[in-house]
Amino acid sequence: MQSVAYATFAGALQIVLSLPQLLIGVFFIIMHILYLQEEGLHAFELYMLFTLSIMPFAGACLLWFGISLVMQKQWTRGVVGLIICALGLVSFPLGTAISGYTLWVLLQVKNMEEKTEQ
């Protein structure tokens, strides 16, 4: 039962982490598109737009994962949850700490589930 509380707390932390990442990423994309309309399209600007689009995508994935973790969806404790959590490790330093904690919680929950099945 205690592991469920840890998982819910980790999900709430993921939501808190993802919201600024999502909003800032969308803001930068909008600003970059407005800049491209004035200056024209060049290869470097296309590269920057692609690079900036990764930030809100990762934020949306972490938001979806955090909400699903709080709602105690079964898939969050599997491989998909671990992969999404690993994406959050890239957001240094706060994302690394929160995603590392979430990985630890998920692995503890997975370990406890395996022990109860035996």
The dihedral region occupied by 44, where left means phi > 0, alpha psi between -120 and 50, and beta the remainder, is alpha
Q: How far apart are CA 13 and CA 100, in angstroms?
A: 11
Interval 90-102 mean pLDDT = 86
Domain assignments of the chain as residue spans, ordered by start = 2-117
Write out pLDDT tens, residues 53-75: 888 888 888 899 999 999 988 88
Tokens standing for residue 94: 């706060």
Per-residue pLDDT reduced to its tens digit, 11-42 = 999 999 889 888 988 888 888 778 777 777 67
